[in-house]
Structure 1
Amino acid sequence: MIIVYEPEGCEPQSFDAGRGKLRASEIQIIERTADARWPDIKEGVKAGDIHALRVVVWAIRKRTEPALRFGDFDPFEGELRSRLDAREVKAYAEALFEEYHENPDDLAEAFNELRDVAFDREDVEKAIADVAAPKDPAPEPEPEMLPAEAASPSEG
């Protein structure tokens, strides 16, 4: 999960809160500050919950700004958004293809929605190409000759 912080008049900043990107100590600080468990906070980030987004970005920013207090990081509504990282985009693309592959219009709409929530559009295009590519059927195995057939000359 990528969280984008885009304060008005400033360059957007992105914060990777995906699997394996936060230290245990950071997660513990996030839990204490948010007064919630990490699994609930992660779900809040996915859902775009402002409190979850704020506390995670604040904890990540503390890496470079150790004196930053939670109360001093108070973004306006709409300045924080969650976006899907490449791994999540691939998983969603596979699930969408599985669900809608028989209805091209619904699949196209679902893929457009995926483009809207992805951090990197190139990840979406690659994932769509991967899942929509025709799958080669498994090659049929060569028939094995029995040892007796291989050793005896053919009679003609």
Structure 2
Amino acid sequence: MIIFYSNDGGSPQRLDASRLRASEIQVIERTADGRWPDIREAAADGDINAMRVIAWVVKKRTEPALRFADFDPYEGELRARLDEREVRAFAEALFEKYRADPDTLADAFGELRDSAADPEKVDAVIAEVTAPKDPAPAEDQPSPASPSE
């Protein structure tokens, strides 16, 4: 998950929460009073408290003295987006689910682009996921035995 924080009207800060340490997850769980999987899902759904806590923990990497009470973004300043690993997982799941319905699949891939932190990389992931797979190599078959005399 990537959280974009735009507090100054300029370029949003990109806060990469795709890889958190166990200690960071523990701080998130204590601060948000929940379990990490639930908090991560809530942030992906746009829950402001979940995004705030995760963004705060990531910001503490470069600003260790930052207190939670001092990190109080306005509504609309935090946006959660999918990281590359999440994009791949969603693309694979969407392809498996909708491969027989190209129109629905195209719509779903469009929504995936809108949810990605790096929309320009989504098309490459989609191309990889939807590319025809090589069939499994045929096992070497023994050649027919020649008739013995």
2:71 to 73, 76, 86: 73
C-alpha displacement at 1:71, in angstroms? Answer: 1.3
1:86-110: per-residue Cα shift (whole Å, max 9, x none)?
A: 1111111111111111111111111
C-alpha displacement at 1:129, in angstroms? Answer: 0.2
Give the unaligned 5+ runs of structure 1: none
Aligned residues: 149
Q: Distance in 2 between matches of 1:102 and 1:2?
A: 31
Q: Distance in 2 between matches of 1:23 and 1:87?
A: 17
1:144 to 127, 134, 142: 142
* Secondary structure of the corresponding residue to residue 119 of structure 1: coil
Instruction: Give the corresponding residue for 2:52.
Output: 54
Q: TM-score, normalised by structure 2?
A: 0.89
Instruction: Give the corresponding residue for 1:3.
Output: 3
Structure-to-structure mapping, 1:61-140, within 5 angstroms = 61-140=59-138
* Secondary structure of the corresponding residue to residue 112 of structure 2: helix
Rg comparison, structure with higher value: 1
- The structure-2 alpha-carbon separation of the partners of 1:34 and 1:135, relative to structure 1 and needing over 3 Å to count, comes to same
- The structure-2 alpha-carbon separation of the partners of 1:14 and 1:137, relative to structure 1 and needing over 3 Å to count, comes to same
Kept in 2: contact 1:8–1:79 (CA 8 A): no
Instruction: Give the corresponding residue for 2:37.
Output: 39
- The structure-2 alpha-carbon separation of the partners of 1:37 and 1:142, relative to structure 1 and needing over 3 Å to count, comes to closer
* Secondary structure of the corresponding residue to residue 67 of structure 1: coil
State the 4+ residue runs in structure 1 displaced beyond 6 angstroms: none
Q: Distance in 2 between matches of 1:48 and 1:140?
A: 48
1:20-78: per-residue Cα shift (whole Å, max 9, x none)?
A: x2222222222222122222211212212100100111111112212211111111111
- The structure-2 alpha-carbon separation of the partners of 1:67 and 1:138, relative to structure 1 and needing over 3 Å to count, comes to closer
Q: TM-score, normalised by structure 1?
A: 0.85
* Secondary structure of the corresponding residue to residue 102 of structure 1: coil
* Secondary structure of the corresponding residue to residue 14 of structure 1: strand
